[in-house]
């Protein structure tokens, strides 16, 4: 069978199945032959591992994962891709593709059912319109995964891998730092996709900490605080949090003093330790 990175074959298989890529579903398929093998290898696709993929497209990465790992389970939203996948992945017996929305799917259950007695990793070229919420979901649901290796837009990669307490950071930066460590693996130019998107991409990897390291007493308060803070990141954090938690501004100033912080500080200037400390003071005041 011809390779899916062969643009003539890709176009032929798509048109034979009456398939056209959808912008709104973030469909940009990898056609650079060096990308998927590299992603699969760095993404822990190997013996002993089950790999969860989100968004198969025509199966170009799925294939490389299935060649190397014990099993691949993937969630794909676009029903119109299924006849194509039937053809492109026909030689593999260790792939299960589920029709569904990865944002709504019970991924924990899927992992428990599909990957018994295997280590688990996520490896995917994500649909970019849901990059942050999807990564947040993967992290917050505490899925038993060792690594999350994903292709994202270059700007998103910068944000995900930024240090907490830097201007490039965001709510997702804090979430990533809370659960693990993110590093950029390699850049991927826009010409590596069909159709080519307007931006370059990068593959990043989040390595999950095996256990919690931050000793946050109340995760709900911590993440509510982080979300509220970054939604108005240029404002003074104490004012933003007073509104978000229904506490008077005067009282919130005292909360900040208790945490050893200036009430005029912005969230993007705080380190992880400072955020944790502040969340304890906020939780105590809003209890
Ligand atoms: N992995 C493939 C395709 C990447 S494009 C490749 O690298 O070539 C992103 C894929 O995600 C598309 O196939 C799109 O249909 C799918 N997708 C978009 N939104 C989704 C969602 N909410 N849940 C699952 N898959 C989704």
Which atom of ligand 1 approaches the CA of 30 most closely?
8
Q: How far apart are CA 195 and CA 30, in angstroms?
A: 9
Q: Is the shortest distance between the CB of 76 and ligand 1 below 6 Å? A: yes
The average confidence (pLDDT) of the chain is: 96
Q: Is the shortest distance between the CB of 75 and ligand 1 below 6 Å? A: yes
What pLDDT score was predicted for residue 1? 78
Count Cβ neighbours within 10 Å for each residue of 229-260 and write b for 16 or more, e otherwise: bbebbeebbbebbbebbebeeeebbebbeebe
According to DSSP, residue 53 is labeled: E
Query: Atom 3, ligand 1: which residue's CA is nearest?
Result: 57
Instruction: Please say whether the beta carbons of 102 and 74 come within 8 A.
Output: no
The Cβ-side half-sphere exposure at 182, using a 13 Å CA radius, reads 29
Q: Which helix (H) or strand (E) holds 29?
A: strand 29-30
Query: Residue 2's pLDDT band (boundaries 50, 70, 90)?
Result: confident
Residue range 175-230, pLDDT digits in tens: 999 999 999 999 999 999 999 999 999 999 999 998 899 999 999 999 999 999 99
Residue range 44-74, pLDDT digits in tens: 999 999 999 999 999 999 999 999 999 999 9
Domains of the chain and any CATH numbers: 7-208 (3.40.50.150), 219-286 (1.10.8.100)
Name the token pair of 86.
Answer: 């039937």
Of 24, 76, 126, the residue with max ligand 1 atoms within 8 A of its CB, to mutate for a pocket test, comes to: 76
| Cα 283 to middle of ligand 1, angstroms | 39
Of 105, 127, 195, 202, the residue with max ligand 1 atoms within 8 A of its CB, to mutate for a pocket test, comes to: 127
| Cα 39 to middle of ligand 1, angstroms | 16
Q: How far apart are CA 286 and CA 221, in angstroms?
A: 9
Q: Is the shortest distance between the CB of 101 and ligand 1 below 6 Å? A: yes
Query: Atom 5, ligand 1: which residue's CA is nearest?
Result: 27
C-alpha dihedral sign at 243, 246, 249, 253: negative
Instruction: Please say whether the beta carbons of 228 and 241 come within 8 A.
Output: yes
Q: Is the shortest distance between the CB of 78 and ligand 1 below 6 Å? A: yes
pTM of the model: 0.94
Which atom of ligand 1 approaches the CA of 128 most closely?
9
| Cα 126 to middle of ligand 1, angstroms | 6
Residue range 130-156, pLDDT digits in tens: 999 999 999 989 899 999 999 999 999
Closest C-alpha among 226, 239, 228 to residue 265: 239
């Amino acid at each position: 069978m011809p390779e899916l990175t062969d643009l003539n074959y890709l176009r032929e298989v798509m048109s034979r199945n009456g398939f056209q890529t959808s912008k709104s579903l973030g469909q940009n398929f990898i056609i650079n032959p060096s990308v998927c093998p590299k992603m699969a290898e760095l993404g822990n696709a190997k013996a002993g591992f089950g790999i969860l993929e989100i968004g198969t497209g025509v199966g170009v990465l799925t294939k490389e994962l299935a060649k190397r790992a014990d099993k691949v389970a993937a969630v794909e939203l676009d029903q119109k891709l299924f006849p194509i996948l039937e053809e492109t992945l026909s030689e593999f017996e260790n792939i299960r593709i589920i029709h569904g929305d990865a944002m709504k799917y019970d991924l924990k259950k899927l992992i428990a059912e599909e990957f018994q007695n295997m280590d688990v990793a996520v490896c995917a070229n994500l649909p970019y319109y849901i990059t942050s919420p999807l990564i947040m979901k993967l992290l917050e649901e505490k899925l038993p995964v060792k690594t999350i290796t994903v292709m994202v837009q270059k700007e998103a990669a910068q944000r995900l891998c930024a240090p907490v307490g830097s201007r490039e950071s965001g709510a997702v930066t804090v979430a990533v730092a809370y659960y693990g460590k993110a590093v950029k693996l390699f850049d991927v130019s826009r010409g590596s996709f069909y159709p080519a998107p307007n931006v370059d991409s990068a593959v990043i990897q989040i390595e999950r900490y095996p256990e919690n390291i931050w000793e946050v007493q109340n995760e709900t308060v911590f993440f509510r605080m982080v979300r509220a803070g970054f939604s108005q990141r240029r404002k003074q954090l104490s004012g933003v949090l007073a509104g978000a938690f229904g506490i008077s501004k005067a009282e919130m100033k005292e909360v900040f003093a208790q945490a050893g912080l200036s009430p005029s500080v912005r969230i993007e200037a705080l380190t992880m330790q400072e955020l944790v400390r502040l969340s304890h003071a906020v939780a105590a005041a809003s209890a």
